[in-house]
Amino acid sequence: MFFDLNVPVPNIQSPSQGTSKKGKGKQPATTQASFTIAQINSLEAHVDLLIHLGYTVLAFSQTVNKKVDSKTHVNVLDGLLSQLKSRPGIVYLKRLNIILDEDSEKGFGLINASVALFNSYDLISLIPTTHATFSLACLTHTQPSPLTAHIISIPLTLPRLPYHLKHTLVRTAIKNGAVFEINYVGALGGENDGVMVEAGAAENGQSARRNWWAAARELVRVTKGRGVLVSGGVVDDADLRAPRDVGNLITVLGLPQDATHAASTKTPKSLVLRAQTRKTYRAVLSEPKLVIPQGSMPVPAAPGPSTTPLPIGQSSTPAPQVAPINIPVPAPTPTPALPTDSRPQKRVREEGGIEGQAPSKEGAPSNSNLETQKKKKRKKNQNQNQRDGGVSAGSVAS
């Protein structure tokens, strides 16, 4: 599946975009802009050639200069898609390009009051032409919101890039989910969109071709091949190329073969899916919808008598309700605690033991043991008396 997300439509002038006779400025849009039969036939042939080359997803782009005024802006793509023939297997998308210049630094219409207007477009692209607008596009308008711009298109055909491609700005935009677009029409020296040429955002001719190659190499060097989208931007049918021919052309810029293939397939596919999150809350929550399945029974407004047949033996009349009887249950009486004696108990004298001495573990001593202890004690006393008598006799002799 190959994508071409930049198919310019013919420029038409809406009757409501002019000024009033009294010079009061722009009037509110009251009529829908329409394309001529010749423009429709030319666009049909252009689409047939794109399908023949192998593209299946096409994004028709409408370009606006400086600012989008919600009072005068007209979405010309709504009426265009209804006039094109339906082709099975081909997806049509609507894209809005906004050219940003010095006058756009104060604001260019991406405000919350215009959310309903921008929701009619599938993709929003910004074309900055000054350093201030480039910083604004990379840092502010790539944040998740209902007004997120997921495509930043660099004017590659100008004699010199109007700003320096800083790594920090480019890295921040890619981290937020934005992509940088390369239109291959500039590499062929083909004709660009008339609105961009009039606004000074593009040039035609051989000099524009040399400028494109120099600026495109710089963009590939800064992005390192990540977040690069390859589109057509072709106005003349003679400048259309097949997707694989475009891939071979982009490899000259320094991109590997797999990166050039992803720039026309994988990257735009993820971009289209990510762009659908503009209609959600910060790309996380969507608006809940109540879906009632077909064939479901309608819910009655008020409860009525039931028509469901009851089983045999059951009555349709409700059973009488009996009020519950509360029987008081007496609380359990606490059991009085018995008085305890706080005095310490005397140690019981066991038979054959000595008072105040605990019996041995082996039980009460026998009579033989008592006799043996008495003999040892008696002998010890005799030895002590003899020792005392000997000491006293020696002292008397001296």
Domains and CATH numbers, the chain: 2-13+31-279 (3.20.20.140)
Taking the CA atoms of 381, 386, 391 and 393 in sequence, report the sign of the dihedral they define: positive
Residue 374 phi/psi, 5-degree rounding, is -65, -40
* Consecutive 10-residue averages of pLDDT for the chain (398 residues): 93 52 47 80 95 96 89 89 91 94 80 87 94 93 89 93 92 94 93 89 90 94 94 94 94 92 95 87 65 68 54 54 54 57 53 47 58 82 73 42
* Alpha carbon distance 188, 205 (integer Å): 9
* pLDDT at 313 (0 to 100): 54
* pLDDT at 223 (0 to 100): 94
Residue 253 phi/psi, 5-degree rounding, is -75, -10
* pLDDT at 112 (0 to 100): 83
Q: Select from 142, 217, 137 the least CA-distant residue to 175.
A: 142
* pLDDT at 315 (0 to 100): 52
pTM for this structure?
0.67
Asked if residue 198 lies in contact with residue 155, where contact means CB atoms within 8 angstroms, the answer is no
* pLDDT at 30 (0 to 100): 44
* pLDDT at 344 (0 to 100): 54
Angle between helix 206-223 and helix 167-175 axes, rounded to 10 deg? 70
β-strands 55-65, 91-100: how paired? parallel
Structural tokens at position 353 = 């033991």
* pLDDT at 397 (0 to 100): 41
Residue 339 phi/psi, 5-degree rounding, is -70, 140
Residue ranges of alpha helices (H) inside the chain are: 37-53, 76-83, 115-118, 131-139, 167-175, 194-199, 206-223, 243-250, 257-262, 266-275, 367-397
Angle between helix 167-175 and helix 131-139 axes, rounded to 10 deg? 30
* pLDDT at 356 (0 to 100): 45
